[in-house]
Amino acid sequence: MSKIKINKSIYSYLFDNMDILNKFDFHYSEKTIFTPIRNTFTEYDELGNKLYTIQADPAVRIRDIDKFHPVDIEQKIDLLSVGIDASTVPSQCLCRGNTRYLLVKPYIICASGEDAKFLLEEISQRIKFLILISDKLKLIYNKAKTALYPHYKLQNNLVNILKHIKEGKIFSDFIETIIQIAIDYGYKYHSRANNDSKLIIYKDGSILSNSELKIAHALKRGNFKGIEPFFKLYNSLKKAGENDIPVVGIVKDSQSLLLSKLFTPFGSDYHIVRNLALKQQCSYSYLSPIKKIIEPHKNIQIDNYFTFIERGISPLRLEVIPTFKPKNIRNFAEIIENTLRLIYQNENIHDFHKKRYKLPYCILSSDVVSRNKAKDANKLINEKLNQIRRNLPIPMIIKRGFE
């Protein structure tokens, strides 16, 4: 196994600046040949410290890394699946130029399967709206659904703040509720169990919300200050695994550069997966897992299963944490295969960002509903705050950026 040590590679540079990759006019035809050239790649920071290692399945030879595993999609399954998603819509009524005064986030849980209605009733079909308000606005607000943030933080660290709230506190609360209900009513995942008692939880987006390096550093030094929401998410996923409930992160638009570290020529995961699958003329198939091992704390590891659905449908990246595997299954391949069967059973196609997707029904529903709810919530808040705005003195309106 070869190891490459570089201070600042083109891979890491483009990984940190994905918009640059999108500006390049890459044209990969079906004649392009992507070839695996190594099974291990270690990424270093500018000081020469190890960040993470990308590694193919050790049981797979280098020349077989690009081989897809077909799935028997005709096999009938009726397991219970739960999808959790969130959408962000900025409230334009409290903006002036690039200055943001308010944001709203809805959180949606959807389920599919024999007991879906029962499960949703148990968790009260909870939809939670979280409103971020700049502390420059002296408004009366509901503390249960509103977070007051320093104005400068709301501008400078907008993405990080949203991710902390979305992926930390809210998602963890939801998943813990679902886990407790599953325990109370005997839901878990067991290879030999009846389908109607099996449960899989799907999370829209990366399994650890791209916080794995932060969590690894915190675990190594034993200090979690500043990353409490991310660590809470990590512990929630750990609790799910301990109770035999698998959690799968579904990344729809996989423009990351994981595979490019093992293949030549250079390309995004989307292009490499699509090209390999079309050459092998396969559908509803997946590659052996590509492992991302976080070097500061090697217990943090994410297995990435790259899947190809069918021609004209965007590939998906399915993420799992192998150390949180339910004890009654040999590996996560069974979960991945059942996920592809759920996708096959759902005939709906989702158009998003000029690409077409097929997803398990529960995550597709939560994705669509959350976006619609975000728009509805934004419209409602816009109307309410316009009423407040009309009652404010003109100098205050100008000073605080309402106009």
> Which stretches does DSSP call E strand in 324-389?
350-352, 355-357
At 131 the pLDDT is 59
At 168 the pLDDT is 65
CATH number at residue 354: 3.30.420
Higher pLDDT, 17 or 136: 136
106 CB-contact burial (10 Å; exposed 0-12 / middle 13-18 / buried 19+):
buried
Whether the Cβ atoms of residue 343 and residue 358 lie closer than 8 Å to each other: yes
pLDDT digits (tens, 9 = 90+) for 72-110: 998 888 788 888 876 555 444 455 555 655 555 556 667
d(CA 389, CA 333): 55
Is 26 inside a domain boundary?
no
Q: Would you say residue 157 has pLDDT above 70?
A: no
At 11 the pLDDT is 45
pLDDT digits (tens, 9 = 90+) for 353-399: 778 899 998 888 877 776 776 677 667 666 766 666 666 555 444 44
Is 262 inside a domain boundary?
yes
Question: Which of 80-84, 185-189, 190-194, 231-235 is the least confident region?
Answer: 190-194
Q: Would you say residue 237 has pLDDT above 70?
A: yes
At 208 the pLDDT is 87
Q: Would you say residue 24 has pLDDT above 70?
A: no
- Domain assignment of residue 280, given as a range: 70-287+304-389
Is 54 inside a domain boundary?
no
Higher pLDDT, 9 or 292: 292
Cβ atoms within 10 Å of 125's Cβ, excluding its own: 13
Residue 218's pLDDT band (cuts 50, 70, 90): confident
Q: Would you say residue 62 has pLDDT above 80?
A: yes
Q: Which residue do the tokens 């679902």 mark?
A: 178
d(CA 247, CA 238): 10
At 132 the pLDDT is 60
What is the tally of structural domains in the chain? 1
Is 161 inside a domain boundary?
yes
Is 7 inside a domain boundary?
no
Average pLDDT of the chain is 76
Cβ atoms within 10 Å of 167's Cβ, excluding its own: 23
Is 369 inside a domain boundary?
yes
Is 249 inside a domain boundary?
yes
Is 297 inside a domain boundary?
no
